[in-house]
Amino acid sequence: MSQHSSSAPRGWDAAESPFHAAERLVQQHAGVNEEAESIGRRGIRRYMPDQHRQFYAEQPFMVFGGLDANGQPWATLRAAEPGFVSSPDPRTLRIDGGVLPGDPLAGYWQPGMMIGGLGLQAQTRRRNRVNGVVSSVDGDTVTLEVMQSFGNCAKYIQSRTPTFIARGATGTQTPVETSTQLSDADRALLANADTFFIASANVSEDAGPARGADVSHRGGMPGFVRVDDATTLTTPDFSGNRFFNTLGNLLHDPRAGLLFVDFANGDMLYVAALAEIVWDGPELARFPLAERLVRFRITEVRRSRQALPFRWSEVGYAPQFVTPALRPALQPASLPASPLASTPESPWKKLKIAAVHEETPMIRSFYFESADGSPLPAYEPGQYLPIRVPVDGLDKPLTRTYTLSDTSNRRQYRITVKRDGVGSSWLHERFAAGMQVEAMAPRGAFTYDSTSSRPAVFISAGIGITPMITMLHHAIAAREPHSAPTPLHFFHGARRDGDRPFSAHLRELASRHPAVSMHLFDSAADPASPALSGTVPGRVTLAEIKRALPFDDYDFYLCGPESFMRDLYEGLRALNVADNRIRFEAFGPATVKRTSAIPPALAENAQSSRPANMPANDETGIPITFARSQRTVQWLPKNGTLLELAEACGIAAPSSCRSGMCGTCSTRVLDGRVAYEEPTDAAIAAGHALICMGRPVADEVAAKDGLTLEL
């Protein structure tokens, strides 16, 4: 029985980041640092969920990455009958045998060795990751103390089913062949490869809890590994979980270990190389879907013949590679000059600066247009624009993300930037009309819910006004004149009105739109001077918000400094405002901790303490039974997903990506039906549900009979 209980920590339980400095640097370069930190703290654990433990035990092989005596990373495999990998408790992984001939880590499986592990079930495209340190070795049995554990999405995994073959049936083993460059046979294998594994490491003490070795999967159509010559390979880096574990390690230490499997005859080709990250350039267009490239300079090659005791079914290519646009890529991979036929455009586009406007002495708005006159990609209110800032004295441009501060019109973007830091200072000092800048398409998960019929309350301070004014513009345009105006409440705090961007525009909006209730606060206003119309001395506080809001049920949007958002979020939750009705732009994701939705049993008891302007929701409930926990509770739409409901009730439920990609949360459905508001990437096994995205089917049958989960 598992020793992990519902009281065990969920997500990352350390104060330090789950990522080391080089990983965070790559995340920042890609413009996803805040997103990665937030998702990483939710999905990376220092123990294995029960589902991962069971998953590893069911596999006939597992991929590992580690270091030899010289610090060179190698990726390798261990394989045996299912069960050779086991987990006596959530923090321990045991590998009992499975050593293959030619293992480059032979002799180095010793206590203290840093190991990265990857469990992969190719036929279902499931995979999970575990990193740790060897705690003991007994012959071929290795015990690993888990330091990091998380699920991965199913992207880019080619489907093929292995059939186990007794070692003697694979023929006589030959000595491992070694070289400093690829042979013709090696080049042919790599040129036709659709899968490889890569080991990397950062074992520096400075890496803290993110220290260790790592092994990752890479997949693509045959030809995605370009053999430039006998000692050089170039591979694409596709969009993944955005953790950038491999690239972060390679930025710290360029040594890498690649493993290629010959699925036809069981040969294993191990490659040691020095990696160089190619961040951009015209070469990217030769690799469909690539966001960047990695070039490998080979230092050693080892081939172990017929080492893997499997034969494999025919390959089923990952759905990402068999869209109509990419089907021409299914050509013979013997054309190294053109690894794939399709040539998509680079993710970075040229934008032209149309105008620069000073909003306050410290804040400026920059207006962008397409450099070639084509329409700009649309975006959701609240999303941000990644741009490259070519700061003088730096070898590479900085990647910065700035919230778009006006509604999308396909002709022009606007960002509004406070001068605060190297990148923003460069924008203020150097950006002028007529210049060009590189930008990606807008992105970001902090967006306005235009489908909600509830009144919206926008609360911000300082430069946090930028997503809020975009949302306000969008809400006004969406609700007028097509429907009866729904109240919109706008709160913003600044030191003085002269420090507030768009101050006159906000007042003008309130005067033209009766549904807009405007509340502007000046914390450092001169008490001897008369206040401007519509402004209030002081700060935006929960008390002021309660005083201003009439009786109703609201959606809250928060953006501002960390302490500002934390105080408001915790205050709203203390007033029994449902967690899923409070959205915020996390400037520091580690500092604003979400709390679980209020369990239905507690919500009923909390009504007497609900303030007049925060009424209860009387939507119809559906009974949800957690069989193993022997709990039945009423699910309401405000409780969110089944995973959120389970967590709110203190019921341990495995999860990782929380977005339907990795399959970690798959749970057996004993009775009832589950629906999904959005498609899931992970395959859903028969009789199971992905509870991180699932909700009970809401109909009369469900309201009566309910839903029963195995949890």
- pLDDT tens track for 209-253: 999 999 999 999 899 999 999 999 999 998 777 899 999 999 999
* Mean of pLDDT values over 680-698: 82
Residue 413 pLDDT: 94
Sign for the pseudo-dihedral over CA of 161, 166, 169, 172: positive
**CB distance 142 to 109 below 8 Å:** yes
**pLDDT of 42 over the 80 cut:** no
| Cα 87 from Cα 96, distance rounded (Å) | 11
- CATH class given for the domain over 622-709: alpha beta
* Length of the chain (residues): 711
| Cα 682 from Cα 150, distance rounded (Å) | 15
What's the pLDDT tens digit per position in 508-531?
A: 999 999 899 999 999 987 766 655
456-609: CATH topology is Rossmann fold (3.40.50)
Reported in sequence order, the residue ranges of 203-291 that DSSP labels E, i.e. its strands, are: 212-219, 226-229, 232-237, 255-261, 268-278
Higher pLDDT, 650 or 308: 308
Higher pLDDT, 92 or 678: 92
| Cα 496 from Cα 484, distance rounded (Å) | 35
Residue 480 pLDDT: 55
* Mean of pLDDT values over 413-433: 89
* Mean of pLDDT values over 329-334: 38
Q: Which stretch of 119-128, 274-283, 456-465, 661-670 has the lowest confidence by average pLDDT?
A: 661-670
**Predicted confidence band at 483 (pLDDT cuts at 50, 70, 90)?**
low
Residue 550 pLDDT: 86
* Mean of pLDDT values over 364-388: 88
Query: In CATH, which of 1.10.1040.10, 3.40.50.300, 3.90.550.10, 2.30.110.10 is domain 42-329?
Result: 2.30.110.10
**Predicted confidence band at 96 (pLDDT cuts at 50, 70, 90)?**
very high
**Predicted confidence band at 612 (pLDDT cuts at 50, 70, 90)?**
very low
Domain boundaries along the sequence of the chain: 42-329, 349-439, 456-609, 622-709
**CATH superfamily membership of 349-439:** Translation factors (2.40.30.10)
Residue 164 pLDDT: 84
Q: Residue 88, preceding bond cis, omega within 30 degrees? A: no
* pTM exceeds 0.95: no
User: Helices 33-43 & 21-30, crossing angle to 10 degrees?
Assistant: 130
SS3 of 427, please? helix
C-beta contacts of 85-88 below 8 A and 24+ residues apart: 85/56, 85/57, 85/59, 85/119, 86/56, 86/57, 87/48, 87/53, 87/56, 87/57
Residue 468 pLDDT: 95
* Mean of pLDDT values over 482-495: 84
**pLDDT of 120 over the 90 cut:** yes
